[in-house]
Structure 1
Amino acid sequence: MKEGTRVHKDLEDEVHVTVRIDIATKEDAFGLRLWNIVQGLRTLRDTGLTRELEVWGFVDGNLVNGIIDGLSSVHPDPEFERELRRSRELQPNIADYFPPRKPGNEGASQVYLTDVKTRGKRTTANAASLRPAKVQLFLYHRFLSDMAADKLDYLRVFRRYNLDPDEPFSDSFLAQMANLHDEEFFDASETETDLDGDFAAPPLSGASDSSQSTFTQQQQQQQLSSSGRFDSQRSSPPRQPDLIKYGTLRELVPLLVAELRQTFPHGPDSVGRLLSVEYRYQLDGSLIDTRIFPMDDRALDIYLEHTMGWWQGKREPRGVSIEDAWKCSTCEFSESCTWRKGMDEDRLRSVRRRLEMKRESNG
């Protein structure tokens, strides 16, 4: 997992430069997550590619979050999609993969999701290994589509994390974020100039934690101090602290919604329905294989209904399929697993029956 994390970080560093941000409250921490999404969406619009974009969604009332490894405006396989669309004439249910677009959206640009998996050997993944990645991307596609359609209830998300949407961000957090986005944090018509021309940041409070934010290479050069950290006193046109915008989570949400609307102007239709999984070698991050498949809402609904049935206590647990039995070798509960014991007993009974039938036929 450490090697896999390194590969993901290397890929992210190709798009973003990590900047360290001090945070003092849990509202600061979540605000930083929202700002990272905003920055990721802007990077996607500017460059056609972004990585590590966080999304949220609800499954049977349960909040689920995830991070999309890659979003790109480059189509992963145009010919594959054309073949799938042509097959709609022969298989009407193929329309589930590519439902008709709304009038006026035909030919509009789309954004495509990619997940990155690392492998310790230069071997391609089998169907059993691909299945979890497909479900993961199905979920991310649904969550991102709902966010693009402005269907996500952010206040509900805040309640789940026990966050106060009206709690002001800490002074230190605001100062650091304002250094990056001062044109958005302040009313440009209400400015003052002090004698030394330094940024008139709000007073800094003692920060108790730190996290990270991501910005493009160009933004990094403009906004980092020589120490590699934000310089809250860097030279810039001073602003009035009482004119700060986005001082709370509630105030930040409209900005995020606007960025989503700008990035996905046609809502869910702007989210491409071809998904891809990249398999990369752990040692050097080189590409081993890419699997491409269409979004399948029906398959996701069936999977969620089956899985949530167990979590909600509506059905008994079931063992993995035979092709997934290799996972038992790393399961900490394998020694006490009643499913494995039952399978072993069934195999033993089957062998005994065959031996008895063989003896009777020879007798």
Structure 2
Amino acid sequence: MFRAVGSRGCWGRRSLPGRSEGLEMVRFQTRVQIRRVGFQSLGEPRLRLVEHPNSTEGREKQRERDAAREKDQIGYAKSAPDTRSPVERFRRPPNKAFSVTDLVSPAWCEVQYWYSLTKHGRKRRTPAMKRGTTMHKSLEDEIYTTVPIEITTKEDALALRIWNIIQGLRTLREFGITRELEIWGLVEGELVNGVIDQLSYECPDPELEASAASHYAEVAASRAVMPEYQMSLNDYLLAPAQGGKTLADISSHEVQPQGMEDPTSSQSSSELQHLPRIYLTDIKTRGSSSTPTVKSSSFRPTMLQLQLYYHMLNRLVLSDDVTIDLLASRYNLDAKKVFSDAFIAEVGSLNDRFFDALSSMEFDPDYIPTPEDAITRHESSQESDDTEPRQWAPSGSQDSTSVLLAHNNLTTLWKLMKDQLRYTFIPPTLKSIPVAPSIPSEFQPPVLEDYPTIPSPLLTARYLSSAPNADLHSRVLGSRSFLFDPASLESYVSDQMNWWRGQRTPRGVEVMEAWKCRICEFQDECEWRQEREWAYARRKRGQTSMDAAA
């Protein structure tokens, strides 16, 4: 976990003396340091609550019912072909809602995902996926202690998930990192659910972050000179046929919109460079020792996945796109139903104190916390020896039972979660100068105007080896970072939803990506592959005939 001491400055990094498993993050300009400490030294454990295997209701029971229903649907489809669109067949009640996986998996191959849905009802878990799940659980166990909770109503099941979000946000603010944070969003009018692997205050690529302002200025300039209906120069150059080069690859000149200053040219910019920001990371496991490049086709689903997370998280913080009434309607829940006494007692007994039960002023809808607020709380919690475990609790602390009793239905608990999201991700108010809170710049790029929060658009995929190894840290293969591009995300999602809604047929891979077919379980029955092979054979025969005639 992370803990903060003192005030702000600029980031640096060095190994902790005598502590090989950690990193010390030192801000050089001032006295402050943020230190990664052993997870075991936190004192009170962070808790991740899960449904007890014997629960009579809840998410696991619903998954069992979904699997049985999908099996029945598949059996029926074999005798009577279903002409409904994929969204009507697989993602309308009583089936489960959309997941981020549903939207990004077709980026690998739409035909493969179509076969997965129609033949199995979902994407079947492969041995590699099971190893990945085990790895994610190991990473989660570094931070959280898993505690099973018995669930007797569907409302309690959703409350458990919301409570874990609240506790995850608390862990992020207090220790600088959280994992497995669940979110919801609306994408093209469809309710979508996802789980972010990791959020932390540690920047994975400072050089890329420092270039973010010029990157977005370059994108804005290149798109401004093109008609709206025409592909931008950057998009054109990034196309595989053009070698995947950006403007920066071709020219050493940086493009700055007129009136935009270099963000490093003033003293205030230097301060903004080191504004605390939150970084999203997706954890991937691989059997091989290599990692894909950002521009490779195998990286595309991961890139889209992280961009969807970033978009959905921001919308969940800033808007009421997703409400508890929408969730209740979709999952057939009663948002006003009081949680069971057993649920409140069991969950409440696990936490002696609820550290984030803030004062009424802090929960004022018009109140926006500043970094100084967090620093004040951190400084007030420090003992003379800053290596001691944190024992911080604001004056408004309550026990968890009291908090649950005060928010004893989904409507009120959802509001508490939304307050916690705002408290965590809304940027500070700076009186004297404009600020782009998510990147080191005094000016908010037009492309990020809809995302005025401290989560950074610098998104990262971290790759771990799935090979057996007792030391989890030695499995790190590397990471790949890139900057959020809402235009490319919007284009992909719009096209993808055309397929889900039955407005076009699924597309398979083209010849340059035919290597994917070799590892596909449907290669022998794939009609897309067969049609491409027949077309290639016809062209070959035609060419042979022309050569013979000549």
TM-score between the two structures when normalised by the length of structure 2: 0.52
SS in 2 for 1:270: coil
SS in 1 for 2:327: helix
Query: Is 2:334 aligned against 1:164?
Result: yes
Offset from partner CA, 1:192-234 (integer Å, 9 cap, x none): xxxxxxxxxxxxxxxxxxxxxxxxxx89xxxxxxxxxxxxxxx
Match of 1:264 among 392, 417, 425: 425
Q: Distance in 2 between matches of 1:297 and 1:311?
A: 21
Query: Is 2:281 aligned against 1:114?
Result: yes
In the alignment, what sits opposite 2:406? Answer: 245
**Residues 258 and 182 of structure 1, relative CA distance in 2, 3 Å threshold:** farther
- How far residue 358 of structure 1 moved from its aligned partner, in angstroms, is 2.8
Q: Distance in 2 between matches of 1:287 and 1:239?
A: 37
SS in 1 for 2:462: strand
SS in 2 for 1:57: strand
- 8 Å contact kept, 1:87–1:94: no
- Unaligned stretches of 5+ residues in structure 2: 1-128, 225-233, 235-256, 261-268, 358-388, 391-397, 428-450
Q: Distance in 2 between matches of 1:238 and 1:179?
A: 9
Question: What is the one-letter code of the residue matched to 1:347?
Answer: Y
- 8 Å contact kept, 1:128–1:323: no
Query: Is 2:481 aligned against 1:311?
Result: no
Query: Is 2:210 aligned against 1:26?
Result: no
Match of 2:346 among 176, 190, 193: 176
- How far residue 182 of structure 1 moved from its aligned partner, in angstroms, is 6.1
**Residues 156 and 294 of structure 1, relative CA distance in 2, 3 Å threshold:** same
Question: What is the one-letter code of the residue matched to 2:548?
Answer: R
In the alignment, what sits opposite 1:130? Answer: 299
Offset from partner CA, 1:151-188 (integer Å, 9 cap, x none): 33232122111111111111211101221356569x9x
- How far residue 20 of structure 1 moved from its aligned partner, in angstroms, is 1.5
**Residues 120 and 143 of structure 1, relative CA distance in 2, 3 Å threshold:** same
In the alignment, what sits opposite 2:462? Answer: 278
How many residues are aligned here? 310
SS in 2 for 1:356: helix
- 8 Å contact kept, 2:339–2:409: yes
Q: Distance in 1 between matches of 2:400 and 2:212?
A: 55
Q: Distance in 1 between matches of 2:341 and 2:193?
A: 28
**Residues 184 and 72 of structure 1, relative CA distance in 2, 3 Å threshold:** closer
- How far residue 95 of structure 1 moved from its aligned partner, in angstroms, is 9.4
- How far residue 239 of structure 1 moved from its aligned partner, in angstroms, is 11
Query: Is 2:169 aligned against 1:8?
Result: no
**Residues 184 and 348 of structure 1, relative CA distance in 2, 3 Å threshold:** same
Match of 1:322 among 487, 490, 511: 511
- How far residue 357 of structure 1 moved from its aligned partner, in angstroms, is 3.0
SS in 2 for 1:27: helix
Question: What is the one-letter code of the residue matched to 2:159?
Answer: G
Q: Distance in 2 between matches of 1:146 and 1:238?
A: 30
Q: Distance in 1 between matches of 2:286 and 2:174?
A: 31
- Unaligned stretches of 5+ residues in structure 1: 188-217, 220-236
- How far residue 330 of structure 1 moved from its aligned partner, in angstroms, is 4.7
Q: Distance in 2 between matches of 1:25 and 1:5?
A: 27
Query: Which of structures 1 and 2 has the larger relative contact order (alpha carbons within 8 angstroms, sep 6+)?
Result: 1
Question: What is the one-letter code of the residue matched to 1:157?
Answer: L
SS in 1 for 2:284: strand
- How far residue 5 of structure 1 moved from its aligned partner, in angstroms, is 0.9
- 8 Å contact kept, 2:347–2:401: no
Q: Distance in 2 between matches of 1:261 and 1:144?
A: 11
- 8 Å contact kept, 1:150–1:257: no
Q: Distance in 2 between matches of 1:257 and 1:239?
A: 17
In the alignment, what sits opposite 1:299? Answer: 488
Moved more, 137-146 or 122-131: 122-131
**Residues 142 and 87 of structure 1, relative CA distance in 2, 3 Å threshold:** closer
Q: Distance in 1 between matches of 2:203 and 2:210?
A: 12
Moved more, 2-11 or 78-87: 78-87
SS in 1 for 2:180: strand
**Residues 34 and 343 of structure 1, relative CA distance in 2, 3 Å threshold:** same
- How far residue 93 of structure 1 moved from its aligned partner, in angstroms, is 4.5
SS in 1 for 2:337: coil
- 8 Å contact kept, 1:23–1:170: no
Q: Distance in 2 between matches of 1:110 and 1:275?
A: 12
TM-score between the two structures when normalised by the length of structure 1: 0.77
- 8 Å contact kept, 1:72–1:111: yes
**Residues 184 and 80 of structure 1, relative CA distance in 2, 3 Å threshold:** closer
- 8 Å contact kept, 1:146–1:268: no
Question: What is the one-letter code of the residue matched to 1:171?
Answer: D
- 8 Å contact kept, 1:148–1:268: no
Q: Distance in 2 between matches of 1:254 and 1:95?
A: 40
Offset from partner CA, 1:57-109 (integer Å, 9 cap, x none): 11222111011000011112121122242345554357999x99xxx995542
- How far residue 54 of structure 1 moved from its aligned partner, in angstroms, is 0.2
Q: Distance in 2 between matches of 1:141 and 1:95?
A: 22
Residue correspondence of structure 1 range 39-58 to structure 2 within 5 A: 39-58=167-186
- How far residue 321 of structure 1 moved from its aligned partner, in angstroms, is 2.9
**Residues 69 and 311 of structure 1, relative CA distance in 2, 3 Å threshold:** same
- 8 Å contact kept, 1:45–1:263: yes
Offset from partner CA, 1:18-44 (integer Å, 9 cap, x none): 112111111111100000000100000
- 8 Å contact kept, 2:523–2:529: yes
Offset from partner CA, 1:276-312 (integer Å, 9 cap, x none): 0011101234111201011111111111111100111
In the alignment, what sits opposite 1:139? Answer: 308
Moved more, 312-321 or 127-136: 312-321
Q: Distance in 1 between matches of 2:297 and 2:219?
A: 26
Q: Distance in 2 between matches of 1:322 and 1:179?
A: 59
Q: Cα RMSD (Å) of the superposition?
A: 3.2
